[in-house]
Structure 1
């Protein structure tokens, strides 16, 4: 395959605390901020912006104070009317959009990495809105190779840019690092260490890319989200009437086949998966999704071919930006 030349990743944002009780990202950003000045002086290949996304929620160790910040980055929300009753997180999303974006604009940071924890047994996942963003997919493959002791997977949410609702959508490229299992409001050293390794390897890849390294092409596995499944509920009270079946609990990314156990009712009955095709479950029994009516998400797995890539030269960048170069440059 022909080598694809892509613009330099000059500015990278690493964000933690978008959900204030997901503590690996909170403590990692705080730790990185301690050495930020020295790192900037030593690093000529990339400028790293460290952001504590939702400081009010972090202070209260809550997912959010009024509304979920990580659902506030659609174009409609970022550009809608504001009043003195506008929730704090919507105001904060606009501040972050000004700091890191604007979303979809040429001034946006080159890459946003937003750090999250899940109570589900998902290992380390990159979650992105594109299955053809070669930067994100190459970083994913690099992390798979550099972190062999924990499963590393790529989840694709198939939404158009204007409907992309989470913080990483503000950058030219972006993904969330979602890692678990870890209870909310708790930090586990093994989960924190895995997240720290993921961020460090991501930044190493960016530096290598910016220095001119050619990354070979190949193929990767991508999980594209198909649908969410809610818990069974009482028709009158809307209370849930079943929990995740014991045979499914903690089996994120293990193939769920038609007629496999899905839920166990509180009276002890087994409810089975009635889908027409085998799919891969993830975010199984995620604590924060009870309020969203999601017991688990289901995905299809497929192979995506990625081309070899390298950074554009200055001449290639000008050609791409302006469509021509001067005779002197030629």
Structure 2
């Protein structure tokens, strides 16, 4: 694989996720923090208008605007569609200053801790394994390529999304801010070592969570939610959910059990931004690989 020449750190893809946005501002004020000798590091506040408005987006979710068919569709004229085209024009694979790797910082209201979200590309999995070997608290959530192709990091092959929580929307939380900054620093160090062929061999068993679908809230015929996340499941991201275990609780206090055939590991449980997407949680299977 060719050397990494340009890395882009992104924050504020969603305007009310402050950790990434304010890390970008810090890195812009103190560029030495992200400088590495073997590649250029650039920063991007992805959705500045939404950030100023303290909203997830202005017209539509920017992190769903990067499919190639949408980027090439000139009839799409929402603010986020135009912004996606601008980002791709400058930094995409065929852009004016294409980037080789993207580290896209997000926060979630779900109890995801430090999560690295990536696809199944071997380079990205090895980066994730390294991050987990340095910090065993790092969770790795692996999405299929089809689930990634609409997101901002899809404009290049390498890198990952860093998802941190639980953090309320429009709020900074000092401990998770510092942990996210440390994770970015470690990722940049890995890319630097890769370029210099100095990556130390590490015998690491990567534990990761493979995406297997989503579950919506129970709804009536009008589409209105009829139950909440059960208290026993709330904030239990990456914990096992066994068949028959309570999943939802109706407004009348009746428990609704998980009816799957096997144990799963839910993530993004009760994510505030996913109510509009019809997602109560994402379902994963826990797996391991040796690096």
- For residue 233 of structure 1, the aligned residue among 219, 230, 233 is 219
Does 1:137 pair with 2:132?
A: no
Deviations 1:50-75 (A, max 9, x none): 00000100110100000000000111
Q: How do 1:112-151 residues align onto structure 2 when only pairs under 5 Å count?
A: 112-128=102-118, 130-131=119-120, 133-148=121-136, 151=137
Q: Deviations over 1:96-140 (max 9, x none)?
A: 11121137x897311011000000001111111x22x23322222
Instruction: Check 1:39–1:248 CA distance in 2 against 1; reply closer, same or farther (3 A cut).
Output: closer
Shift of 1:178: 0.2
1:62 and 2:55 correspond? yes
Q: Which has the higher contact order (CA 8 A, sep 6+)?
A: 1
Q: TM-score of the superposition, structure 1-length normalised? A: 0.83
Pick aligned residue for 1:181 from 159, 166, 173: 166
Among candidates 76, 80, 84, match of residue 89 of structure 1:
80
Q: CA deviation at 1:43?
A: 3.6
Q: What does residue 74 of structure 1 align with?
A: 67
Larger radius of gyration: 1
* Alpha-carbon distance in 2 for matches of 1:170, 1:107: 12
Residues in 2 aligned to 1:110 and 1:196: alpha-carbon distance in whole angstroms:
20
* Contact 1:20–1:64, Cα closer than 8 Å, also in 2: yes
Unaligned runs of at least 5 residues, structure 1: 1-5, 307-330
Distance 2:185 2:261 in 1: 41
Which structure 2 segments of 5+ residues have no match?
A: none
User: How do 1:263-278 residues align onto structure 2 when only pairs under 5 Å count?
Assistant: 263-278=248-263
Task: Give the alignment partner of residue 45 of structure 2, picking from 36, 49, 52.
Answer: 52
Which residue of 1 is the match for residue 91 of structure 2?
Answer: 100
Give the SS at the match of 2:19. Answer: helix
Structure 2 partner of 1:20: 15
Query: Matched residue pairs, number?
Result: 290
1:164 to 140, 144, 149: 149
In 2, the alpha carbon distance for the partners of 1:134 and 1:212 equals 17
Correspondence for 1:213: 198
Whether contact under 8 Å (1:108, 1:170) holds in the other structure is no
1:10 to 5, 9, 13: 5
Aligned residues of 2:190 and 2:199 also touching (Cα < 8 A): no
Deviation at 1:210, TM superposition (A): 1.3
Q: In the alignment, is the contact (CA less than 8 A) between 2:12 and 2:45 conserved in 1? A: yes
Per the normalisation by structure 2, the TM-score is 0.94
In 2, the alpha carbon distance for the partners of 1:35 and 1:114 equals 19
Aligned: 1:35 with 2:30:
yes
Q: CA deviation at 1:254?
A: 0.5
Maintained 8 Å contact 2:90/2:97: no
